[in-house]
Structure 1
Amino acid sequence: MTQTAVLRLQAKTQSYDWGKLGDVSKVARYAQQSGESIDPSKPYAELWMGTHPNAPSIVIDDAHTPLQSLIHKYPELSTQTIYDQYNGDLPFLFKILSIRKALSIQAHPDKTLGERLFKEFPNIYKDPNHKPEMAIALTPFEAFCGFRPLDEIKQHIQRYPELAELIGSDVTQNFLTTIQEQDEDVEKNKTALKSVFSALMHSPQEQVTEQISKLTNRLRNKDKEDPLAELLLRLDQQYPGGDIGIFSSLLLNYVTMESGQAMFLGANEPHAYISGDCVECMAASDNVVRAGLTPKFKDVDVLVEMLTYRYGSAESQKMTPQSFGSHSLLYDPPIDEFSIALTTLKSGETEQHKPIDGPSILIVTSGNGDMSVQGSNYSLQEGYIYFVGANVELSAETSTDLEFYRAFTVPT
């Protein structure tokens, strides 16, 4: 290899309104390690690690070399197969997110839809790629993911008259009749669920505002220990003025995760992050179709038509990791672009990662230690980020607790 296999990176932050402020944000704390000055009043929402043109990582060297330029010069860092397959780019975008308030109700298109949206609306949808993604909690984490079991939705329609009012009596009755039938006709159930979601999302704004006012006034006088009521009131405080996304809480799974728990968000599945810090990885795209909890453009018609309308429990949304070594876990979603390994070491422990036939990016999320690759040693400190080239063995050791995440891709 004509280029060293390990390169320390400086990643760029993204400031969005929903991000945590100043050094309360893990994004900001990690970015400080590579020299970024932190403004305590500024929201630091995302740290982008990779070659995406909106915020490309650079090598910490005298020339401030863009990572993508280095991969173009030395394709062996990526492997020729992956280099050719993804046109000399990294196929994934690795992120840290620090969430102060809920993100938009959204879904990401599959490749077919992504290509069509990019062709028809290039000013809104910036590339033709799909955007499956995976989130692993760093701290206690809340999210919406997928549609609730139909019985839960039925109970919410009956329990929350404001929801039933927006959906309308005909759609409500059809849904209740459909799911009460003894035969489990999944496609028929999905059609009924789609009718409910479509009716809700297309509700006139003045009716939405009126029903949210009724809902929140009623809930403020109810049991304060009801977690769903607390969530609805919290979302109304974050997005005042009648945001339809508040009612999505009654249709979508409310998922809570502890550190190390993960969920995979496939194409055409509704979701939204609510609070906490996470590691996130996705295909290298920025396509988002939104429909609530946002002041940004809402493409309700596209969202309603694109969703799969799969339904199931909140727990069913979570992933089960596999072993990746003595002290590592592998989160391997059902896509080609990326997987993530989590390594957790206690004082005096060591871990080896066998050679991976593809490029990877590693970030230390807590603690410190040392890494050895091809006879060279590298410091592992909280917030340090490294690009690791293909086909090298990696060894880590620590005299304190140490945690790092490594996103990678392999040839298909």
Structure 2
Amino acid sequence: MSAIYRLQCKAQSYDWGKFGDVSKVAAYAKASGATVDDKKPYSELWMGTHPNAPSIVMDESKTPLSELIKNNADLSTKAVYDQYEGDLPFLFKILSIRKALSIQAHPDKTLGARLFKEFPEHYKDPNHKPEMALALTPFEALCGFRPLNEIAQHLETYPELKELLGNDVSEEFFATVKATGESTSEKNVAHNKQVLKKVFGTLMRSSQETVTHLLSKLIARLNEIKASDPISKLVIRLDQQYPGGDVGVFSCLMLNYIIMEPGQAIFLGANEPHAYLAGDCVECMATSDSVVRAGLTPKFKDVDVLVNMLTYQYGSAESKKMTPIKFGEHSLLYDPPIDEFSVVWTKLGADEAEKQKPIEGPSILIVTSGSGKLTGEALKTESDYELKEGYVYFVGANTPIVAQSGSSELQFYRAFSVATNH
């Protein structure tokens, strides 16, 4: 029995995606045999067993990946198989983003289960959804609350935000920042978070009429002074993408604006506010579709749940970036503080090779650029598999692999899961 299978993966087409001729998702979907329409947005490529877009083994029988894993416990190891009930615990994706996604957070397991039980029409499953994004191209995102003094500075620079919050809330925030904004004592940090929650809650619950009025006032002022700093330009851009007074535009003055280069990554834990804004990334998440939205979206907004669920941790944009560790001569490991997944990024120059040690769990890899070959050992026999841009493979547990680049650079990302007792 083989331990390596090439997969056919499905692309998702949402309004915010990049169009076919420039979308990485479209380019990779072509490798799976999809016909691409240049005028259509291609937003996400899903690699995994999620029922909304399940991956299929590219063989005569067209076996669904979920079935392959379910019927062959050895491909996962018994420990992983038992822990995740014969399924894959992660969903691996490529995203190509033309316009901002909603400001959102993902519930933890307890809240996820409650929302699913009480509002199944809005929340489709009870799982939590921690996720990690690794930049494929320069990538922009909002992630977590800014340091408090930066938010206070924005209340001064953008008086329309201060007006929206009202004098009492603004003054209480200024006083708090002045008194305990820099403090690291547990008591003060807890108090700071309460005040930050009040500020964010006031913003998100503002009346639509007031938001529309103050946002148009802000945009008019920024255009008049020809504001060219990154934050003002972002405010103008988000307002153009979601016209008509979306409160999410104001949120970017409170959340960290992060620009990542290829090789940089962010991890988004449960109950952390975020929004992807532009670029292409590799994303990995726990298998779930549980999202609480509150801005930059025409979809259902659940403002009270969002305001109450957030952790209100605050800190610098840099503190949100992950520090990878060496995994091989040409590979880096991104290992978030959760059980379901980790990701390895391998970058080989022309005519280079790397042997990767066997991983004690199932993995999925996608070639993001270049070409070459993969040699996998299974049952003492070796087989070669072609590596080309957009090719996706499932690799069974404990399979040693060797990746060899061709005459140009080869890059691939590999998501995997191991049992938690490791």
* TM-score when normalising by structure 2: 0.96
Matched, 1:59 2:57: yes
Q: CA deviation at 1:180?
A: 0.8
Q: 5+ unaligned residues in a row in structure 1: which ranges?
A: none
Q: 1:347 & 1:166 partners in 2: Cα distance?
A: 56
What amino acid is the match of 1:410? V
Return the letter of the residue paired with 2:102: S
Tell me how far apart the structure 2 counterparts of residues 370 and 6 of structure 1 sit (CA, whole Å): 13
Superposition deviation, residue 160 in structure 1: 1.1
Cα-to-partner distance string for 1:344-393 (whole Å, 9 max, x where unaligned): 00012111110100000000000000110011000000000000000010
Partner SS for 1:363: strand
Amino acid at match of 1:68: S
- Per the alignment, residue 88 of structure 2 pairs with 90
Tell me which residue corresponds to 1:294. 297
- Counterparts of 1:81-160 in structure 2 under 5 Å? 81-160=79-158
Q: Which moved more, 1:269-278 or 1:170-179?
A: 170-179
Q: 1:8-43: CA deviations, max 9, x gaps?
A: 001111110000001310000000011000011110
**What is the aligned partner in structure 2 of residue 174 from structure 1?**
172
Equivalent positions of 1:318-329 (< 5 A) are 318-329=321-332
Match of 1:311 among 311, 314, 326: 314
* Aligned pair partner of 1:240 in 240, 243, 246: 243
Write out per-residue CA displacement over residues 222-255 of structure 1, whole angstroms, 9 at most, x where no aligned residue. Answer: 2442111111100010000000000001000000
Distance 2:199 2:32 in 1: 48
Superposed, 1:378-389 pairs within 5 Å as: 378-389=385-396
* 1:157-306 alignment runs, 5 A limit: 157-182=155-180, 184=183, 185-306=188-309
Secondary structure, counterpart of 1:40 in structure 2: coil
TM-score normalised per structure 1:
0.98
| Alpha-carbon distance in structure 1 between the residues aligned to 2:71 and 2:147 | 51
Q: Which amino acid in 1 is paired with 2:210?
A: Q
When the two chains are superposed, the root-mean-square deviation of aligned CA atoms in Å is 0.8
Amino acid at match of 2:142: F
Code of the residue aligned with 2:398 in structure 1: it is N
Structure 1 counterpart of 2:95, which letter?
Answer: L
Amino acid in the other structure paired with 1:376: S
Q: Deviations over 1:54-103 (max 9, x none)?
A: 11100001121100011111111111111111111100000000000000
Paired AA for residue 49 in structure 2: T
Deviation digits for residues 182-208 of structure 1, max 9, x if unmatched? 582101100110000000000000000
1:69 aligned counterpart, secondary structure: helix
> How far off is 1:299 after superposition?
0.3
Indicate the SS of the match to 2:70: helix
Letter in 1 for 2:401: L
CA distance in 1, matches of 2:176, 2:68: 57
Residue 154 of structure 2 aligns to a residue in which SS? helix
The answer for unaligned runs of 5 or more in structure 2 is: none
Q: Percent identity?
A: 67
* Aligned residues between the structures: 410
1:10 paired to 2:8: yes
Shift of residue 161, structure 1, vs aligned partner: 1.3
**CA distances 1:318-356 after superposition (whole Å, capped 9, x unpaired):** 001000000000000000000000000001211111010
Structure 1 segments of 4 or more deviating over 4 A?
A: none
SS in 2 for 1:181: helix
Aligned position for 1:409: 417
Partner of 1:23: 21
Check if 1:358 corresponds to 2:366.
no
What amino acid does structure 2 have at the position aligned with 1:257?
M
Structure 1 stretch displaced more, 327-336 or 176-185: 176-185
CA distance in 1, matches of 2:248, 2:34: 35
Distance in 2 between residues matched to 1:285 and 1:148, nearest whole Å: 27
1:47 aligns with 2:54: no
